[in-house]
Structure 1
């Protein structure tokens, strides 16, 4: 049996040998309460990014000849792919935001229902 299992480390930092031992489990530290994640609607962010790709695509169409002459004709294709991915992302975020909003409303309803039940039972 390895020596690190026979002699506890008495709360000091784990040794390199302990860290490399596959069965080493670090001590649980008290959980710190962090800040809540920022809950914002993601769909407008994706829509804005898609609009930027649309502007980039329009610019590549306007300056197509000079871009082709410089060997940068592929920029229009890149912008078109950005638009397609942006539409896909915007659609996905629309449904995500709706699902988050519904979950928040359901949570609010359940907490208000339980609060009203508590006041009735008192």
Structure 2
């Protein structure tokens, strides 16, 4: 799973100068597609991380933290480009984004394009 994450949840390319909203939505869609297809496994891994301290450390370091950093970095870049308010805390907003999709995953709610657009719209609205 950690190796797969490098494919479906790799850092978005910033080379083409596309709007951060588009990059964030694409990033979320890629994650949503994977966790939807592998929802039972992801829920089991999250549960295991609650009971196994060593696994939690590895899961957090190899999967959660890199994705959190990617979103925080995108939001900070959006701030430098004037696309996202400099008064907003990028790390806090990243936590909100992650909380929203982990909550949906754990409660078997849809993780789809509509939800990705709603998150992006709310973050940048």
TM value normalised by structure 2 = 0.28
Larger Rg computed on CA atoms: 1
Higher relative contact order (CA 8 A, sep 6+): 2
The structure with more helix, counted as a fraction of residues: 2
TM (normalized to structure 1)? Answer: 0.29
